[in-house]
Structures are given as C-alpha cells and as structure tokens.
Chains A and B, each alone.
Chain A
Amino acid sequence: MTNKLDIKNMKVSPKELLINNLVPILFIIICCVGIPLSGYSGSYLLNEILSRLGRNAFLVLSLLIPVMAGMGLNFGMTLGAMAGQIGLIFVSDWSVVGIPGMVLAAIISTPISVLLGYLCGSILNRAKGREMVTSYIIGFFMNGVYQLFVLYLMGLVIPISSPELILPRGYGIRNTVNLESMRKSLDNLIPFNIFGASVPVATFILVVLFCLFIIWFRRTKLGQDMRAVGQDMEVARQAGIKVERTRVLSIILSTVFAGYGMIIYLQNIGTLNTYNSHSQIGMFSIAALLVGGASVDKANIRNVFIGIILFHLMFTIAPTVGRNLIGEAQLGEYFRVFVSYGVITLALVLYEMRKRRAERIALEKGEEVVA
C-alpha cells in the first residue's frame, strides 16, 4: 500500500516560500520602484486602482470555478467575452441604454455563453491534462467563428438596422461600437467619493455578491463534486461523481460569468472594439490572477484582489515610468505587455517545477502524489 503525499500541505523552507510567491514579490518590487518614478499622486493611483478593480474583478473571479474543478486556468473565458459583446451589439442596435441595456445584454449573452461553454467543456473532456493549451486554441478558433458572425452575418442574415453599427457596405459591424449611453451606468449608480477618488459602489456590490456566491458554491453538492474532481478524477469517479458532467458545468459557469464580466468591463470603458476587446481579456485576467499568487491548481478570492491591485498598478505606472526613464512612453506599453506574458510563463514554469519536485520526493519516499 502506498501513502499519499499532499504537496499543498508540505512544510516549506523560507527559500521555497520565496520561490512559491516569486510572482507577487516581483510585482511588489516593480510597483515600489515604479510609483516614485511615475510621479503620480496617491489620489490618482487610488482612483485608477478602484476603477480597474471594479472593471476587472468579475472577469478574474470567473476563473476560479474551473481551477476548483482541476481544469486549470480557463483561457476559454474569451468565449464568454464574445457572448457578452454580442449581447452589447444587439442592445446597441435596439438603443436600449443604461442599466436596462446591461441587464438585457447579460440575458442575451447567457444562452450563447452556455452553448459555447458546453462546446468548450466537451472538447476539454477529450483533452484531459491539456486543458489550458486546448482552451487557448479553442479561443482562437471561436474568434474566427465570432468574426464570421459579426463581420459577415450581422446585417446580412442577422438583422442589424442601426447605420451607426453597420459598415457602409451594408453588412458587418464597425470596428468600434459606441457605448457612451451605457458608460459607467453601473459604476455611477451609487455615487461615492473617497479622498477625491470615485468609488464604483454598485459594481463592488455585484463583485461582493459574486464572491459570496463562490464561497457558497464551494459548499454545495456540485461545488464539493468539483473539488473532488479537481483532487483526483479517478477517485471522484469511483465515488459516483459524474466527472465529465461536473467538468463541463464548471466551464459553462465560468463562461457565463465571463460574459457578465465582459459587460461590466465594457460599460466602464464605454467603447467596444468589436474585433479586439475580447481577444486579450483571457490573457490579462489570467495574468492578474497569477500575479495575486494563484497557481494552475490553486486559486482563491484573495489572489484575485491582490492580483488585480498589483497587476493594474503596474499597468497604470508603466507607460509613465517608461517615458520618465527613457523618454519613450511606448516602451512602458511594451513593458506591460511583455510582463503579462512573462508572468504567465513564470507561473507555469514554477508550477511545473513544484510538481516535478513533489514527484521526485514522492518517488524517493515511495508515496503517491496528490496535487
């Protein structure tokens, strides 16, 4: 009989602790060095962080459920973002504005997200152990389908009447959709200021409700099943849990919430870049989560908030630091993009290192690894 070695609860040395939290520590250093160099005032940074926290929290929180189910970081959240955007295109065409417009866009996006999430989850069930790269490629594939719908079918087959949305040739949606009539309608629903910074209270209430939902969800039967599946699929299957169904449900939930998150995100921005807004959302949301100290197999609400604050603090200061140091703001732009990709790479490498180390220790001790 083999003993199980739980790598999550292993005692770690200070050096290992440092390596395990390398990403957040690196970001804290970058921010500590960058803030004085940027020359931004405290109230400006506070305003930016509060705004970006409200804008991105829902999107990043939507990543937690698949991690719980052991499916890693859901790059397929892009699918939900596309569904949210389709909802927004329709409400813009129908001239439904403000909060009712957001609610209607969310209602339209839900069945699309469910369908896309089901497709994605079903494919991921056929690619067990390679979920992240598969979901990443599904995102690219679906982007093509999205472009087919938005660029060719909308206006030709799908009725879109607004000349402000349709390309002059008579079909296809323009590059940008103006969401001015919806801009900050949720953020400014309950006006509140602190130290000269505007606080998006209503958005934060939604985010808190979502956090409470996640906490509650973890305790439900389905949540427990997801955790069991995340721990060990074979054991979960033997315990009578429908593993494939549970995994698909986790992706569907994540996709649906990503769609809502995208709507919240775009109401804050006020402009929808039809062909680009969704394309990097998965990358940046995952980077933010990893910056908060999450890993491929472990993520919680604390990681979400720490990650958004650190990642977006870097995002805010980077262009100005680049300009102040080298006289080139564009360098800061490149820096933050480079860091986004870099942080994901670093987190994946660290995760793999930890896993291999645990496997090596387990092999030496003749124990079975529980990731």
Chain B
Amino acid sequence: MKLGRKFFIRIAAVLIIIIIGVVMFFIGKEHTILIDNFSQGDYKALDYFEVSVDGSPILDMSRMMREQFTVTGQKHTVLIQWEDEASGQMLAVTFKITVPLMQDMVLLSVPTFMADMNQPQSVWLTPFEPQVVVSSSAEDNAVVTDDTASFSSF
C-alpha cells in the first residue's frame, strides 16, 4: 500500500499536538514547596530568616515554622536571607532546585541546607506526602445528577 504525502502530514500534525501536550504538562504541572525550619537531628532550626521562591514576596520565618509556596514547572530559584550573628550583616544565598516531575509536594529543610550548602539536593529536598482524611459516609459519596441543578450557575 502506497502511503501518500497527506498521510505523513497527518502523522506529523498528530505528533506535533502530542509534543505540545507533553510540553504543557511539564511547564504547567503545579508543585508545592514546603519551606521547613524544624530541627533535623543534629541540624538546629534557625532563629530567623527570610525566604522567597521565584521572586515571590519575601516571607519571614522563625523557629518551628513551615511555609508553603505553590509553583509551576520543575526548576525554581530559592532565596534565603539571614543575619550573621558575628558581624550583624544580612547574608543571602540563592540556589536552584529541581522538583521531581510527578511529585506534588516537596519539603525543603532549611536547617539541613544551611548546615552544608554543598550537600546534594536529595539530602535537604525530600518528597512529602500530606495526610488525607478519608471519610466514607453515605453523604460524602452522594452525587447530584439533577438536570436542573446547574441552572443558577449559568
């Protein structure tokens, strides 16, 4: 069977659409980054620091605090600013992180990172699974299939 030019154009069009879909998935995938200031073993929590992800408004963080940033895409820039106790000067560090594609939520332990900035990312950036409370009452499982239910939202 002879495959015509039209056939190849159609195949190319389908491939382009699939590629666009994959690109959209990569750039549009939402992740949550938890910035954590809890002590981790030998690494003590910092008294105070400021943090920003991808140029977002700076958040103040003290001991035992956890903040969350919602971002899209895999690669992000984190800025941490803190006051040096010895000199009293504000110091800052900017670094890049790569969130695993299929991981919805990751936890960035700032005490672990600050203890040794040369550690690999996997040490201070770990996957985080939020606890989900599952209710199974009949009311929660009920669905509304009333044809007129959407009138008011139109």
Contact = CB atoms under 8 A, between A and B. Distances in A.
Interface of A: 91, 94-101, 103-104, 107-108, 110, 147, 151, 163, 167-169, 172, 174-175, 181, 269, 271, 273-277, 279-280, 284, 315, 333, 336-337
Interface in B140-154: 140-154
A273 B149 contact: yes
B29 A167 contact: no
A315 B134 CA distance: 39
Contacts of B151: 280, 333, 336-337
Across the A-B interface, give the 10 residue pairs with the lowest CB-CB distance, nearest first: A100-B28, A276-B150, A100-B24, A96-B28, A95-B30, A104-B24, A107-B21, A276-B149, A275-B145, A163-B132
B17 to A, nearest CB: 6
20 contacts: A98-B72, A100-B23, A100-B28, A101-B24, A103-B28, A104-B21, A104-B24, A104-B25, A107-B18, A163-B134, A167-B140, A167-B141, A172-B143, A275-B143, A275-B144, A276-B144, A276-B147, A279-B147, A280-B147, A333-B151
B20 interface: yes
Given A94-B25, A101-B28, A168 B20 contact: no
A277 B21 contact: no
A100 B144 contact: no
Contacts of A274: 143
A175 B144 CA distance: 6
A271 B150 CA distance: 11
B27 interface: yes
A169 B136 contact: yes
Interface of B: 17-18, 20-21, 23-25, 27-31, 72, 104, 132, 134-137, 140-154
Contacts of A103: 20-21, 24, 28
A168 B141 contact: yes
Contact of B153 (A168, A273, A337): A273
Given A151-B143, A175-B144, A280-B154, A97 B28 contact: yes
B1 to A, nearest CB: 21
Contacts of A98: 28, 72
Nearest to B132: A163
A280 B24 CA distance: 30
B144 A99 contact: no
Contacts of A94: 25, 29
Given A97-B30, A104-B21, A280 B150 contact: yes
A165 to B, nearest CB: 12
A277 B149 CA distance: 9
A91 B20 CA distance: 14
Contact of A107 (B20, B143, B146): B20
A103 B146 CA distance: 30
Contact of B154 (A95, A110, A181, A315): A315
Contacts of B140: 167-168
B68 to A, nearest CB: 14
